[in-house]
Amino acid sequence: MAEQRVIKSGKKSSVLQNAADLTTQLAAGLEKIGLAMKSRTWRREGRAGLGPLQRQVLTLLRSKPGQRATVSTVANELAVRLPTASEVIATLERKQLVRRRRDMSDGRIVMAHLTAKGNRSCGPSSRMPDRLAIAAEALSAPEQVVLLTSLVKVIRSLQEQGEITVARMCVSCQYFHPNQHGNADRPHHCDSLNIPLGDRSLRLDCQVYEPASSSQVNEAWTNFTGSRTA
């Protein structure tokens, strides 16, 4: 009996070790993808005189209403310190890609505005070829949906750890109501668009996103993951 217990204990330990190895391999894979994309950005954008963070600022401003944002918003959404954001914006202003203006209603607030030149520099014609999209096409449609929902969970975990400050995902939006419909293909609902949504339509960076309260997010997350705990 003692020998059987040792064997069972050994099997359990092996299973736990295999699970740990799998999460380590997944983390290593994600890191490799991130490094590859950063390296490509440095090679392409560096030649154009833009560093990765400068391009991120331009892309962020391009996505904002009026193509402008406060310096503190830039720092918060890109998870950098305020002095770093200010320095990058000042550099972009010298390149005539961004201009800084005091807010009309509150002179203490500095707004960064994307210029026409800045808009062109981060437009479709100069964007890095979407190698990740091409790679994702190698997956079947069901695999793509599984990957998307998995990324939602990974990003949510990174937010909880404080590594990502802002992510305009459906699951943290006040308009999103998961599993509201009986349709298995489109069980969720978006109040902003007033349409049912399926997992394949989930957004990781939505233009109509409005942050939900903590209680709303927790409730939505419970409802969203509830049907996936079988």
What stretch of H or E contains 111?
strand 110-114
Residue type, 168: R
* Total H helices, total E strands in the chain: 8, 6
Percent of the chain with pLDDT over 70: 79
Gap between the terminal Cα atoms of the chain:
34
Model confidence over 105-122: pLDDT tens digits? 776 788 999 999 998 887
Model confidence over 51-100: pLDDT tens digits? 778 888 998 898 888 899 999 999 988 888 999 999 999 999 999 999 99
Tell me the CATH number for domain 48-126: 1.10.10.10
pLDDT of res. 128: 46
In the chain, where the domains are located: 1-47, 48-126, 139-230
Greatest Cα pair distance in the chain: 80
Q: What phi and psi, each to the nearest 5 degrees, are found at residue 72?
A: -65, -35
Residue 126 CA to residue 115 CA, distance in Å, equals: 16
